[in-house]
Amino acid sequence: MRKVLAVAIAVFFCTSLFAQSTKPKAKMGFMAGLNLSGFRSAVDYPDVKNDILPGLVAGIFVNIPLPSHFSIQPEFLYSQMGAKSHSINQWGGTYNFRYNYFAIPVLVRYDISHCFNVFAGAEGDILIKATQRGTPTTNITYDVKDFDFLYTVGIGAPYKQWRFDLRYLHGSQDVSLNSSETTFFNQAVQFTIGYQLNKKAKKAKK
């Protein structure tokens, strides 16, 4: 866990240094929004039904321009994932499985126009805490893998200094430590609103 955090911090500082040296200048800003997350499973569990669980996502982004309308955008986010699970056997009950992550997406964007772009990339999620909320609420951090790797694809619509993004997150690995008993993968639809701090330079008057 400490090694993963050290890598995350190193990525952040390297990105900041690279962003300061790029021309045109990189764009930095804040973003926040909503995760609609759930579980996928390779096994059919007839006694369990999983539903969507809303969660918060918030953090910062750095957009680094590249030639030919491309850009690279690393992000550093607090992201709530998980699912709402209903047991439909004789014991019954509803539980919210909440996984709190420090997420580091790295996206490649392509600007189709000044008001529309598409993007794709990968995301590494470092587990902060996991809970099973029911009666009672239980800490299950040590029952969940402390790292997840996801693929993402989405669309964006910038307007002045505002950025509106919609993306799909697809977990690539089983995050259960007891894969012989249960197996599940993270997935989510994410909507975010971002605010760019760097104002575009005004063109000089002739």
Q: Which amino acid is at 173?
A: Q
* pLDDT at residue 204, rounded to an integer: 47
What amino acid is encoded at 134 in this protein? G
Token representation of residue 109 = 């964007």
What residues form DSSP beta bridges with 53?
37
Given this model, what pLDDT does residue 85 score?
A: 82
pLDDT in tens, 37-82: 998 877 666 667 778 999 999 999 999 999 999 999 999 999 999 9
Pick the CATH number of 2-196 from 2.60.40.10, 3.30.420.40, 3.10.300.10, 2.40.160.20: 2.40.160.20
pLDDT in tens, 188-204: 999 999 999 976 555 44
State both tokens at 58: 């918030």
Pairing of strands 27-40, 147-159: unpaired
In this prediction, residues 98-117 reach a mean pLDDT of 95
- Asked if pLDDT for residue 184 goes beyond 90, the answer is no
Alpha helices in the chain (DSSP H): 2-21
pTM, two decimals, is 0.83
Distance of alpha carbon 144 from alpha carbon 51, whole angstroms: 19
pLDDT in tens, 80-102: 999 988 766 555 678 889 999 99
- pLDDT mean over 96-123: 95
Q: Which helix (H) or strand (E) holds 6?
A: helix 2-21
Listed by start position, the domains of the chain span 2-196
Cα dihedral 29, 32, 38, 40 in deg (nearest 10): -10
In angstroms, rounded to a whole number, what is the distance separating the alpha carbons of residues 200 and 75? 20
Residue 171 CA to residue 132 CA, distance in Å, equals 20
Is 80 exceeded by the pLDDT of residue 150? yes
